[in-house]
DNA sequence: ACAATAGTGTCTCTTAGACAATATCGA
DNA sequence: TCGATATTGTCTAAGAGACACTATTGT
């Protein structure tokens, strides 16, 4: 039986300039040396407990980032996707606020808008598209976009994040009702976002028990 | 780099006696020779175009069944799940009417209720649970359960299938409204399900263009 | 005071569920 | 005709969106 190449690739997504961006790195080795690509690497049977572990390790090693949210996306495979031979890549995606990338990310990390990718090696374009599609879909009935915000954020900011991810405006009253129903946020006592010439907005944070756990709704946020 | 074992496993689900069952086979080889397990096998780099291809081939070879619906589920991995060593299994799930198993399935195929599994080898229990969970969830906002029916079926039958999969009763009027909105079914002219001592039910079939394509709703079927 | 955005009350419209009336079969 | 289940009509309740009113800041 021919050997199969086993790798992981991670689509690390963030929000920058009000649009979804993905982290890319210049490849240090062949194939595609010097080309921008998703952070990825071999699964190390000697040290990884599973492929999620491989994804965490790869992300940390190559970008310096540890993402609180990391989800398995899908597995991509075939004889043609990697010039080295028949390969499998277990794709993962992660969401972080832009600040995390700026603060913890290695300097060579690049951010590209997901809509303007071109010439990505392997099937990385397809992986990014699958990740974006999953995030869009899941955002419509879950608290997923919260992971794109920092520790503290206002409701208008959160709504704007949802709108960017979903790609359509959301009714303000409905949005606040939904978020209220989810009951995952708590106001930070006395903390307001000041500085702009309007009424300041209340700052919120995720309740402790929801830090590492998605919250789902049974009805979609925006049913059009 | 240590070699990694690459396999596929398929959770082939069907409805029998008004409950979800999964197809199991007695393993012909070690490890776990003679034990009931999911149909599965190595990915063959020489002949498979990708892992989906490997799943189709494995399912056809081991059970005799070709399922119109086959979806990648998730990838399971680690050093402990297979006694032969660090392994990866790309899990798939498929849905077929019971009649397909009875007619096309190899004689050694066994059907077990998904709630009564025990002692499955590898992490097959976990794979089945993930498959059932995915099917439950997806059924609440899609036409997925149609694949558990035959070519022709009545609306009461389809509703009963949904109810079995979802595990809860559905409002009849709402159900019919949803199915009507989906617009994926067409009545078979003049075909009624007779034989019982009540008003006969109209037989329906999937419109041709939806034969190989799921149909999604934006609002869940049963929001309870 | 004014412009701007935050936060909230409330009305309307859409959709889901309850209930029941009618339809059509075999016995 | 009766019992059983299919099919359909319609009323009611719940949820989503529209609109607008009040609140609070900097200028």
Tens-level pLDDT at each residue, chain A (224 residues): 568 999 999 999 999 999 999 999 999 998 999 999 999 999 999 999 999 999 999 999 999 999 999 999 999 999 999 999 999 999 999 999 999 999 999 999 999 999 999 999 999 999 999 999 999 999 999 999 999 999 999 999 999 999 999 999 999 999 999 999 999 999 999 999 988 999 999 999 999 999 988 999 888 876 43
> What are the CA-CA distances from residue A144 to residues A148, A188, A213, B94 (Å)?
8, 20, 9, 28
Residue B224 touches chain A, beta carbons under 8 Å: yes
Minimum Cα–Cα distance from A2: chain B residue: B45
d(CA A12, CA A128) in angstroms, rounded, equals 9
d(CA B55, CA B94) in angstroms, rounded, equals 10
Confidence of residue B212 (pLDDT cuts 50, 70, 90): confident
d(CA A42, CA A29) in angstroms, rounded, equals 13
Q: Which two tokens stand for residue B49?
A: 């175009």
Phi and psi torsions of B85, nearest 5°: 140, -170
> What are the CA-CA distances from residue B122 to residues A53, B145, B224 (Å)?
19, 28, 35
Of A124, A104, A121, the residue nearest A14 (C-alpha): A104
- Mean pLDDT value across residues B176-184: 96
- In degrees, to the nearest 5, what angle opens at C-alpha A195 toward C-alphas A153 and A98? 40
* B115 contacts B161 by C-beta, under 8 angstroms: no
Q: Which chain A positions have a beta carbon within 8 Å of B51's beta carbon?
A: 75, 77, 88
Instruction: Estimate in Å the CA A138 to C1' C7 gap, whole number.
Output: 27
Q: Which two tokens stand for residue A126?
A: 């397809």
d(CA B185, CA B151) in angstroms, rounded, equals 11
- pLDDT at position B222 is 63
Phi and psi torsions of A46, nearest 5°: -75, -30
Nucleotide showing the shortest C1' distance to residue B224 CA: C16
A87-95 and A110-113 strand pairing:
unpaired
* B70 contacts B94 by C-beta, under 8 angstroms: yes
Q: Which parts of chain B fold into alpha helices (H)?
A: 51-63, 98-104, 124-139, 155-166, 172-182
% of chain B beyond a pLDDT of 70: 98
- C-alpha atoms less than 13 angstroms from C-alpha of A34 in its C-beta half-sphere: 0
Of A116, A8, A123, A152, the residue nearest A70 (C-alpha): A8
- pLDDT at position B224 is 40
> What are the CA-CA distances from residue A63 to residues A38, A103, A164 (Å)?
10, 11, 25
Residue A43 touches chain B, beta carbons under 8 Å: yes
**Residues near chain D strand, CB within 7 A:** A 170-174, 177-178, 192, 194-200, 219, 222-224; B 154-156, 172-173, 176, 196-202
Q: How confident is the model over B188-207, as pLDDT tens digits?
A: 999 999 888 899 999 999 99
The model's pTM: 0.94
User: Which nucleotides of chain D have an atom under 7 angstroms from any protein CB?
Assistant: 3-10, 15-20, 23-27
Pick out residues 66-125 of chain A having their CB under 7 A from any atom of nucleic acid strand C.
Answer: none
Instruction: Estimate in Å the CA B139 to C1' D2 gap, whole number.
Output: 38
Q: Which chain A positions have a beta carbon within 8 Å of B78's beta carbon?
A: 49-50
Which DSSP string corresponds to A107-160?
TT-EEEEGGG--S-STTHHHHHHHHHHHHHHHHTTBSGGGGGS-SSEEHHHHHH
Q: Which chain B positions have a beta carbon within 8 Å of A219's beta carbon?
A: 219-220, 223
Minimum Cα–Cα distance from A47: chain B residue: B79
Average pLDDT of chain B to the nearest whole number: 95
Shortest distance between the Cα of B40 and any Cα of chain A, in A, equals 16
d(CA B64, CA B100) in angstroms, rounded, equals 10
Burial zone of B224 (CB within 10 Å; 0-12 exposed, 13-18 middle, 19+ buried): exposed
Confidence of residue B25 (pLDDT cuts 50, 70, 90): very high
Confidence of residue B218 (pLDDT cuts 50, 70, 90): confident
d(CA A51, CA A8) in angstroms, rounded, equals 7
- pLDDT at position A224 is 39
**A43/B88 CB distance under 8 A:** yes
Query: Which domains does chain B possess?
Result: 5-122 (3.90.79.10), 139-210 (1.10.10.10)
Q: Which chain B positions have a beta carbon within 8 Å of A75's beta carbon?
A: 51, 72, 75, 90
Helices A124-139 & A155-166, crossing angle to 10 degrees? Answer: 130
Per-residue b or e along A69-108, where b marks 16 or more CB atoms closer than 10 Å to that residue's CB:
ebbbbbbbbbeebbeeebbbbbbbbbbbbbebbeeebeee
Per-residue b or e along B62-86, where b marks 16 or more CB atoms closer than 10 Å to that residue's CB:
bbbbebeebbbbbbbbbeebbeeeb
pLDDT of B73 over the 80 cut = yes
Q: How confident is the model over B117-168, as pLDDT tens digits?
A: 999 999 999 999 999 999 999 999 999 999 999 999 999 999 999 999 999 9
Does residue B18 sit in helix, strand or coil?
coil
Residue B79 touches chain A, beta carbons under 8 Å: yes
Residue nearest to nucleotide C10 (CA to C1'): A173
């Amino acid at each position: 039986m021919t050997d199969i190449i086993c790798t992981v690739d991670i689509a690390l997504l963030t929000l920058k300039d009000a649009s979804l961006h993905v982290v890319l790195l210049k490849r240090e080795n062949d194939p595609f040396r010097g080309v921008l690509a998703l952070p990825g690497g071999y699964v190390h049977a000697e040290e990884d407990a599973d492929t999620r572990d491989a994804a965490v390790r790869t992300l940390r090693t190559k970008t310096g980032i540890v993402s609180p949210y990391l989800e398995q996306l899908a597995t991509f495979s075939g004889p043609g996707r990697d010039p080295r031979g028949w390969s499998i890549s277990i794709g993962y995606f992660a969401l972080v606020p832009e600040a995390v990338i700026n603060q913890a990310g290695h300097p060579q990390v690049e951010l590209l808008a997901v809509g303007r990718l071109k010439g990505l090696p392997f099937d990385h374009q397809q992986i990014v598209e699958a990740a974006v599609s999953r995030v869009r879909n899941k955002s419509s009935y879950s608290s997923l976009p919260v992971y794109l915000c920092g520790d503290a954020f206002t409701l208008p900011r959160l709504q704007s994040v949802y709108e960017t991810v979903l790609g359509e405006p959301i009714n303000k009253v409905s949005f606040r009702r939904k978020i209220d129903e989810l009951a995952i946020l708590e106001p930070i006592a006395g903390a307001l976002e000041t500085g702009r010439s309007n009424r300041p907005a209340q700052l919120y944070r995720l309740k402790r028990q929801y830090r590492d756990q998605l919250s789902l709704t049974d009805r979609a946020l925006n049913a059009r």
